[in-house]
């Protein structure tokens, strides 16, 4: 990032950054990320957010940097990127694929079907606020933390016998960034403050004692930037003086001072940009200035904790937690540090609360934290797993409200995707390809190798349906049913018969981002990929169920059912693997990061140890072929997959691989940065969210017609507890275990209905009837998939998975009541 002349004036005269550190003894909460040195790079800074505003805190004593984001600062402007020549090219591309001419098909799709306007717009940084303290380059007793119990950051250090402290938060209620500066002696707060931005024509200026910076989002690929934004900084001080000149705020001799930073844009929604950003920015700042920091902090913490405090995880503690967080991450694979796993789990929940608030935008590829104008992959919404993965923890970790922005995006995509479906394919309903942005583009982007994947709407619809299974909210289902129906309608129009197999197939498409050996071995385009078949199986079966619940569209459901019957079942190939394509193309040496054909195991439930043991073993074979270590988000997915494969020790091994420290020198491979953010590399937030969901899947699952307790408990987590987890059926579960067996279970019912429990040891019901389960669970919210019988290669050597011994119990539960169980 370039620095303006004003910033250079601030830094003039400051000594070089020489760190002399003495670790300060602290009482360390088990919900703190803490460090004994400042952040030297962005991936060491600590993230704060209130859904709309994000701040990365570096904690440098002499020059504090707060890198800032506002969720609606994106390049470009409202647009549609559907290719108008696609309709003519479609039958030709399909014919080439059916003839096995995959390279020719891909070349034609690249030319005639991919976006002819733009490839989606980047999410962009606002810039930074710098706070410069003369003489603070030589310090001792340094400490900084991110307290995810109350969503605040703290920096402490000593200079010349004076202890300085900074408290930073991104206020949920007041919608400003607040920074409180204090010292152990009066009159010691003297510093300069300025805003800086990498955008052109964004020199800060003074408005009274405030610093102001205004700008416009970038023009990219010829699409004019029309997001207008403004940021304002003001200071509320006790003692001393405050003045502002040329955009620089000077604080001199204050006893304490609080900075308030407000940012606003003209964004209303994906098609409307007529909000007055200056008025909003001023209004938020002036309202904050009427309050003191403690009042803002109190409201902020209360709002945050009503979500965060719903869930607790205790896997035990030991002396490992006494070290700084980056050291613990470095040692995690070699030392037993159960509390770091708990902290990492809760950090994921913290990130979701901080980056996805009701009424706002969904968390993007980096949540809301990005320091660039052109970030990797534009920090958009990648819809072939990454955006959906962000919301895997939403329902089960009791953060249903955080799911709302994704659901609202789905409704908007159904609108823009309807136009794309008509333009590109002359189809009804709506379509979504592998990527979108704040403008809700739905046409295919980049290259056909990744972008010619029209099944995004089916995956989005699966996520919408899953929320219904957790909540049982029929009003919600009626609200989102048109989105699900629209996605299904598109595929009823888009599916064609494969002349080679006779199946109805999605074509052209790909198994996300993976090449196959057809043609020259560099093509991805194919017909009827396993993932597409699995996605449409979920979409069609869920729509059929939804029609019965909402009481409409029986004739439409029949059409969907007829199409479903003509689609391909899953295939088990020559190596005993679950085939990724209709052809038996899989290589045991393929280590691709995407394991798309295992969607049917997780997040779906089509592949089951209890119902489809052959497919279960085939999925395990495929996962073993791919290996463990990969990009960060891929390891997060694999953690969930191994949990669904009921292998807790292997799932724990994936957690160890993911919690592997990534240093600046490392250029490849996934893991975790010092600030606990996921490394793709570079940073992608989906790995954090995937692992948070995966840890729950190790302890509690509910996709098999029952709540399964400790399905994939690793042996190292011998004793522990988890509280507040939500399952399908609308149950809130508190679970304790000792010696790897359930000891105490509490279930709070949000809804009436039969609750089925599955576990390996017996339980005693305390004051109510507990009976052995028989037949299918009558509770419709415990969905199980009725999968077609797999087709098995004659060359395959397939064995069926042998189930462990377990017991199943039924309890008829009433809404509002809590049921307690204990060991026999």
Ranges of each domain in the chain: 5-75+121-285, 84-116+380-568
Enter the tokens of residue 760.
């390996």
Rounded (10°) angle between helices 632-644 and 648-658 = 170
- DSSP sequence for 500-557: TT--EE--SB-STT---SSTTTT---BSS-HHHHHHHHHHHHHHHHHHHHHT--HHHH
Inter-residue contact 461 to 388 (CB < 8 Å): no
Domain 84-116+380-568, what fold? Glycosyltransferase (1.50.10)
- For the stretch 422-458, pLDDT in tens is 999 999 999 999 999 999 999 999 999 999 999 999 9
User: Given this model, what pLDDT does residue 669 score?
Assistant: 85
Q: What is the Cα–Cα distance from 788 to 611, expressed in whole angstroms? A: 11
Report the candidate in 716, 703, 584, 558 with the shortest Cα–Cα distance to residue 641. 703
Helix 456-471 vs helix 474-494: angle between axes, to the nearest 10 degrees? Answer: 160
Query: Maximum CA pair distance of the chain?
Result: 84
Backbone CA torsion sign across 531, 533, 537, 539? positive
Q: Judge contact between 678 and 632, C-beta under 8 A.
A: yes
pLDDT of residue 290: 97
Contacts of 165 (CB under 8 A, 6+ apart): 154, 155, 156, 180, 181, 182, 183
pTM: 0.95
- DSSP string covering 766-813, please? SSS--EE--SS-S-TTS----PPPPEE-TT-------PPP-EEEEEEE
Q: Which of 47, 229, 41, 254 is nearest to 124 (CA)?
A: 229
In angstroms, how far is CA 533 from the centroid of its own chain?
Answer: 25
Q: What is the pLDDT of residue 21?
A: 27
Judge whether 218 and 207 are in contact, CB under 8 Å: no
End-to-end CA distance of the chain: 63
Helices (H) and strands (E) counted in the chain, each on its own, are 19, 35
**pLDDT at residue number 6:** 44
Same fold, 5-75+121-285 and 84-116+380-568: no
Main-chain phi, psi angles of 667, to 5 degrees: -115, -20
Cα 522 versus chain centre, distance: 30
Structure tokens at 414: 């159904």
Would you state the pLDDT for residue 14? 32
- Decide yes or no: CATH 2.70.98.50 for domain 5-75+121-285: yes
pLDDT for the residue numbered 231:
98
Q: Which of 523, 673, 770, 666 is nearest to 42 (CA)?
A: 673
**DSSP H or E stretch at residue 193:** strand 189-196
Phi and psi at 236, nearest 5°, equal: -115, 120
> Do 87 and 425 contact (CB within 8 A), yes or no?
yes
CA pair distance 163, 140, nearest whole angstrom:
9
According to the model, what pLDDT value does residue 761 have? 76
Please check whether residue 269 is in contact with residue 311, taking contact to mean a CB–CB distance below 8 angstroms: no
Q: Locate all alpha helices (DSSP H) within 551-612, ordered by sequence.
A: 554-565
Number of CB atoms found within 10 A of residue 711's CB: 26
Structure tokens at 41: 């790079």
Which pLDDT does position 759 carry in this prediction?
Answer: 84
Orientation angle between helical segments 686-699 and 632-644, nearest 10 degrees: 20
- Ranges of beta strands (E only) in 715-760 are 720-727, 731-738, 741-749, 753-759
Q: Which two tokens stand for residue 817?
A: 């009541």
Which residues in the chain land under pLDDT 50? Answer: 1-28
**pLDDT for residue 802:** 84
Q: Do the strands 791-792 and 571-572 form a parallel or antiparallel pair, or are they unpaired?
A: parallel
Which tens digit of pLDDT belongs to each residue from 764-776?
888 888 889 999 9
């Amino acid at each position: 990032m370039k620095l303006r002349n004003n910033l250079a004036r601030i830094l003039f005269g400051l000594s070089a950054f020489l760190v002399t550190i003495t670790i300060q003894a602290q009482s360390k909460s088990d919900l703190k990320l803490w460090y004994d040195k400042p952040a030297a790079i962005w991936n060491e800074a600590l993230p704060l957010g209130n859904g709309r505003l994000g701040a990365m805190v570096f904690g440098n004593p002499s020059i504090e940097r707060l890198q800032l984001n506002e969720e609606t600062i994106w390049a470009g402007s409202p647009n549609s990127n559907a290719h108008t020549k696609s309709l003519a090219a479609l039958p030709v591309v399909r014919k080439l694929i059916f003839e096995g001419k995959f390279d020719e098909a891909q070349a034609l799709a690249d030319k005639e079907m991919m976006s002819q306007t733009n490839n989606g717009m980047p999410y962009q940084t606002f810039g930074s606020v710098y706070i410069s303290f003369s003489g603070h380059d030589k310090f001792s007793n340094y400490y900084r933390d991110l307290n995810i119990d109350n969503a605040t950051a703290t920096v402490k250090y000593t200079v010349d016998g004076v202890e300085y402290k900074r408290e930073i938060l991104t206020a949920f209620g007041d919608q400003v960034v607040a920074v409180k500066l204090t010292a152990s002696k009066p009159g010691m707060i003297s510093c300069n403050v300025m805003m800086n931005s990498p955008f052109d024509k964004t020199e800060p200026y003074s408005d009274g004692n405030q610093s102001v910076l205004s700008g416009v989002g970038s023009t990219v690929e010829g699409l004019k930037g029309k997001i207008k934004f403004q940021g304002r900084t003001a200071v509320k001080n006790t003692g001393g003086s405050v003045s502002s000149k040329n955009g620089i705020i000077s604080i001199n001799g204050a006893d304490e001072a609080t900075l308030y930073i407000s940012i606003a844009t003209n964004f209303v929604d994906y098609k409307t940009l007529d909000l007055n950003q200056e008025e909003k920015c001023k209004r938020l700042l002036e309202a904050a200035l009427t309050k003191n920091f403690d009042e803002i902090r109190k409201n902020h913490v209360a709002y945050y904790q009503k979500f965060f405090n719903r869930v607790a995880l205790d896997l035990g503690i030991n002396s490992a937690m006494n070290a700084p967080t980056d050291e613990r991450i470095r040692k995690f694979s070699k030392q037993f540090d159960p509390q770091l796993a708990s902290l990492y789990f809760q950090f994921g929940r913290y990130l979701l609360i901080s980056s996805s608030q009701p009424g706002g935008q969904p968390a993007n590829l980096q949540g809301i934290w990005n320091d660039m104008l052109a970030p990797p992959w534009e920090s958009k919404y990648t819809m072939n797993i990454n955006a959906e993965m962000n919301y895997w923890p939403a329902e089960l970790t009791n953060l249903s409200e955080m799911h709302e922005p994704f659901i609202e995006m789905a409704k908007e995509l159904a609108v823009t995707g309807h136009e794309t479906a008509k333009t590109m394919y002359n189809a009804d309903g709506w379509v979504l390809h592998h990527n979108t942005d704040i403008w809700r583009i739905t046409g295919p982007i980049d290259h056909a190798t990744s972008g010619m994947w029209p099944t995004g709407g089916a995956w989005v619809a699966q996520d919408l349906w899953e929320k219904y299974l957790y909540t049982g909210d029929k009003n919600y289902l009626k609200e989102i049913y048109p989105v699900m129906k629209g996605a299904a309608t598109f595929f009823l129009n888009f599916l064609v018969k494969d002349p080679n197999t006779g199946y109805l197939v999605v074509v052209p498409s790909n198994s996300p981002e993976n090449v196959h050996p057809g043609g020259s071995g560099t093509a991805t385009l194919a017909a009827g990929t396993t993932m597409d078949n699995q996605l449409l199986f979920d979409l069609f079966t869920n729509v059929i169920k939804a029609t019965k619940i909402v009481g409409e569209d029986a004739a439409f459901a029949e059409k969907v059912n007829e199409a479903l019957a003509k689609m391909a079942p899953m295939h088990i190939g020559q190596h005993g693997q679950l085939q990724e394509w209709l052809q038996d193309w899989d290589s045991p040496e393929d280590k691709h990061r995407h394991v798309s054909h295992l969607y049917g195991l997780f997040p779906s439930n089509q592949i089951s140890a209890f119902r489809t043991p052959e497919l279960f073993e085939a999925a395990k074979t495929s996962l073993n072929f791919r290996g463990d270590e990969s990009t960060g988000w891929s390891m997060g997915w694999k953690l969930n997959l191994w949990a669904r494969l009921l292998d807790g020790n292997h799932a724990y091994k994936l957690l160890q691989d993911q919690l592997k420290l990534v240093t600046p020198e490392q250029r490849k491979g996934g893991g975790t940065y010092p600030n606990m953010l996921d490394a793709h590399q570079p940073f992608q937030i989906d790995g954090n969210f995937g692992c948070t969901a995966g840890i729950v899947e190790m302890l509690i699952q509910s996709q098999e017609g029952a709540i399964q307790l400790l399905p994939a408990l690793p042996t190292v987590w011998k004793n522990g507890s988890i509280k507040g987890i939500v399952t399908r059926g609308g149950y809130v579960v508190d679970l304790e275990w000792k010696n790897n067996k359930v000891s105490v279970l509490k279930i709070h019912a949000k809804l009436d209905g039969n609750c089925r429990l599955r576990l390996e040891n017996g339980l005693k019901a305390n004051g109510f009837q507990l009976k052995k389960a028989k037949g299918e669970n009558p509770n419709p919210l415990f969905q199980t998939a009725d999968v077609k019988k797999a087709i098995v290669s004659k060359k395959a050597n397939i064995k069926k998975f042998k189930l462990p011994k377990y017991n199943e119990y039924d309890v008829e539960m009433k809404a509002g009541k809590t049921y307690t169980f204990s060991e026999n």
